[in-house]
Structure 1
Amino acid sequence: MNARQAPEFPRWPQYDTSERDGLIRALEQGQWWRMGGDEVNSFEREFADHHGAEHALAVTNGTHALELALQCMGVGPGTEVIVPAFTFISSSQAAQRLGAVAVPVDVHPDTYNIDVAAAADAITPRTKVIMPVHMAGLMADMDALAKLSADAGVAVLQDAAHAHGARWQGKRVGELGTVATFSFQNGKLMTAGEGGAVTFPDTEMYETAFLRHSCGRPRDDRRYLHQIAGSNLRLNEFSASVLRAQLRRLDEQIALRDERWTLLSQLLGAIDGVVPQSGDVRVDRRSHYMAMFRIPGITEERRNALVDRLVDAGLPAFAAFRAIYRTKAFWEIGAPDETQDAIAKRCPNTDAISQDCVWLHHRLLLAGEQEMHATAEIIADGVAAA
C-alpha cells in the first residue's frame, strides 16, 4: 500500500493577498481591539448577512460561543441540556461548565445527527435547551426539532461549528428562528486559527450577549459600570480581518466540496464493507466539513489501525469522535445521574459509529477528480488489509 504514489491535496488553511491585505488594514487602523477598530464590527455584519441572521457576535472560539449562547438562553445550575452523544466534547462541556447537566441522546446511524425521537424521550421539567449538531455540515432535522421545541416549550440551539453556509430547505442557518454557534478553529471551513460566532434571531438576546462577552460592560461605558456578569470573550481585530477574507471564498469552496463528495461517496459506496455518511434531500446545501464513512463490524482497534494506514498513504484521515459518555471529561462535572452502561444502552448507534467511523479532512474535497479516485483506491486497499 505504501508503494502507491500518495495523492496531493490542497493545504489548509488557504489564504492569499486578501488575508494579507486585511492584516495590514487592521494593523494600520491603529486600534487592535474591537472597541476601537472596525474589523470585528464589519465581519459581524458580513457574517450575519451571509447566514440570514438578524445579528452575529464574534467571540474568541467556538466553545466560548456555545457557553455564551447557552448562558443567554438561561442555562445554569438546576437545568439540563440535551446533546447528541456523538459529537466533539465541547457540545456537552459548554453546558457542564455553566453548572448544567448534559444529557446525551443517540444519533441516526446513517446521518450521524441527533435522533429527534430520542431527544423527545429525554425531556424533563429541567430541560432548558436541545442542542443539535450539524454533523460534518449535514444539517439535522430542523423541521422535527422545530415541532418538538414548540410542543415541549424547549429552545433549540444549533451547534453549527461544521455548517458554515449550509441550508435547510432553502433556509440558511440564521433564518431558522433559533440561536446558532460557529467555530473558526484552524481546521474549520473558514478560520483565523481560533475564533467563533453566535447568530441571534432577535436584538434583545444579542444585546445581552454583547454585554456578557465584554465583561458586562456597555459599549460607551467610561466609569466601569458593569451591568451584568460576564467574561472577556471578545475577538481581536486581526482575526476578524482574516475571517472577512475567508468568508468571501466560502461559497466557491462549498460548491467544489459538494461536487467532489458526490463523486467520492459513490466511489466509497462501491467498496465492499464501506458505508459513506448519507444525505438528506431537505439539506439543499451541505457544507462538507468532513468526508465521513463507516466500516460496520470493524473493531475499534482495527479501525484505528486503518486510520494509521490511510495517514501513511497520504490521506488526511482521523478516527471519529468518541462517544462523549466514554470520556473521563464528561463525568467530571454536570453528568446525568446514570451509569455509563445505562447511557450506552440507549445510545447503540453512537457506540457503533464511535467504533467504526473514519473521517477525512475537508481539504481533500478541494482536490481534483483524479484525487477522489486515488483516495477511494487507498481506502479500498486499507479496508481489505484491515
Structure 2
Amino acid sequence: MTEFAGNLDFPSWPQYGDAERTGLIRALEQGQWWRMDGREVDTFEAEFADYHGSAHALAVTNGTHALELALEVMGVRGGDEVIVPAFTFISSSQAAQRLGAVAVPVDVDLDTYNIDPARAAQAITERTKAIMPVHMAGLVADMDALGKLSADSGVPLVQDAAHAHGARWRGTRIGEFGTIAALSFQNGKLMTAGEGGAVLFPDAESYELGFLRHSCGRPREDRTYRHRTSGSNFRLNEFSASVLRAQLARLDGQIDTREERWPVLSRLLADIPGVVPQQVDDRADRNPHYMAMFRVPGLTEERRNALVDDLIARGLPAFAAFRAVYRTDAFWEHSSPDETAEEIALRCPNSELINSEGIWLHHRTLLGTERQMHDIAAVVAEAVAHL
C-alpha cells in the first residue's frame, strides 16, 4: 500500500462557472420566471430527454416528488404494493407510502448492492403494482433479469435512477428501457440545482398525465381553473432549469473522469485487509459513480459509525451507508406490512450487512487525481488498521 502523501484537497461540489452564471442571467432577463411562461424548463426537459434517450422528460421540484409522481401516473393507489430494495435511500419506499401504498422491501445483491431479481420475483402478489429497481451509486441494476420478470409477471418497472444520470446497461440508456424513470438534482447529486428532479416518460400519454398531476391537475392553456385530475404543485422554476442546463453540459466529462478513477481506487481498496469495495457488473457499461462504496465486513453499526468519524477526521468526505428502510422509524409511520422489522431482516440478510458495514465517499473524491486515489486508500487502510 502506498503511504499517504497528504493531499486530500479534492475538487469542490457543486461545480459551477460561467455557464451557470450566464444561464441565471438568461432566466432573469427573459422576464418570465414561471415554467408556464418561460423557456428554460421546456428547453432543459428536451435536452435531458435527448441525453437519456427518452421520449419525454418532466422537470419537477425534487427526486422524491419525481418518484411519487411516477408511481401516481402508473396508477399506484392506497392498498397497492410496490416492491423496493431493502437497502436504498428512504425516498424509494416513502414515495409509495405517501400514496397509501405498501412498500415491500426485498433483499439486494451483496456485491452490487442492487435489488435481487429473484427476491423481487418471490415478493410479487396479486396486489403488486410496481417493481422499483434502484441503480445504487450509479450502477444500473440487472435490467435483463428485471425486464424478463416484468414481462413474465405483467408488473411494470419504475426506475429509481436518482444516482444514475448518464448511466447505461449494455449500451442502453436509462430512458430507452420503455419504463418510467425518476431522477434527482439534490445538492449532492451528479448534476444539481440545489434541489430538483425529473421524470422520464416512454410515451406521450403517461407524460401528459404526469404534466397534469405535477401542475395541480390543470392543463397548460387553462384559464378557467378546470382541474382535470388530482395533483400537486411539483413544477420546477426557471432559475433552477437554467442551472441544470449548464450542469448537464458538463456531466459527460465528469463521468469520464470518475470512470477512470474508480477502477484504480477499487483495486487499491480491495488490497486493504478487511475492505470489500462495491463490485461492478460489466453489463453496466457506463457508470457515473454517484458514490465510492465499500464494506468492512464484521463491523457492528456502532463500530462502522466510529470508523466513518475517523475517516472524516482524517480528511475524507465519508458517510455511513443508508439504513435499510425497515430499520427507520419513517418506514413504520406510514406502513402496515404483515411483518415486523426483525422478520423482514431475516429475509434480507445482505441488506442487514450493508446497513451495518457499508461506507461511502462523496463522488467528488473520484474527480481528484490518480495520485489522490492512492491517498484515499492509504487513509482508509490506516483507519481500518486502528479499529
TM over 0.5: yes
- Aligned residue runs from structure 1 range 205-220, under 5 A: 205-220=206-221
CA shift, 1:322, in A, is 0.6
1:251 counterpart residue number:
252
Question: Within 5 A, what are the aligned runs for 1:90-101?
Answer: 90-101=91-102
- TM-score, normalising length: structure 2: 0.98
Contact 2:107 2:350 in 1 (8 A): yes
Shift of 1:78: 1.9
Letter in 1 for 2:238: E
Q: Is the 8 A contact 2:5 2:375 kept in 1?
A: no
Matches within 5 A, 1:1-386: 5=6, 7-386=8-387
In structure 1, distance between residues paired with 2:7 and 2:321 = 22
Q: Provide the rounded CA distance (Å) in 2 between the counterparts of 1:5 and 1:270.
A: 20
Q: TM-score, normalised by structure 1?
A: 0.99
Paired AA for residue 286 in structure 1: N
* Unaligned 5+ runs, structure 1: none
**2:278 touches 2:295 (CA, 8 Å); kept in 1?**
yes
How many Å apart are 1:4 and its aligned residue?
7.3
**SS of structure 2 residue aligned to 1:267:** helix
Tell me how far 1:5 sits from its aligned partner.
3.2
* Counterpart residue type for residue 244 of structure 2: L
Q: What secondary structure does 2:87 align onto?
A: coil
Query: Aligned Cα RMSD in Å?
Result: 0.9
Structure 1 residue ranges, 4+ long, deviating more than 3 angstroms after superposition: 3-6
Letter in 2 for 1:109: L
Cα 1:368–1:4, aligned 2, differ >3 Å: closer, same or farther?
Answer: closer
- Deviation at residue 6 of structure 1 after TM alignment: 5.0
Aligned length: 384
Quote the Cα distance in structure 2 between the aligned partners of 1:358 and 1:254. Answer: 21
C-alpha distance in 2, partners of 1:339/1:301? 22
**Equivalent AA in structure 1 for residue 80 of structure 2:** T
Provide the rounded CA distance (Å) in 2 between the counterparts of 1:370 and 1:238.
Answer: 37
Any conservation in 2 of the 1:96–1:335 contact (CA below 8 Å)? Answer: no
What's the % identity of the aligned pairs? 71
SS of equivalent residue, structure 2 residue 157: strand
Indicate if the aligned counterparts of 1:103 and 1:335 stay in contact, CA closer than 8 A.
no
Offset at residue 337 of structure 1 (A): 1.4
Q: CA deviation at 1:298?
A: 1.4
Give the Cα separation in 2 of the matches to 1:357 and 1:225. Answer: 50
Contact 1:4 1:313 in 2 (8 A): no
CA–CA distance in 2 between the matches of 1:340 and 1:216? Answer: 37
Determine if contact 2:63/2:182 at 8 Å carries over to the other structure: yes
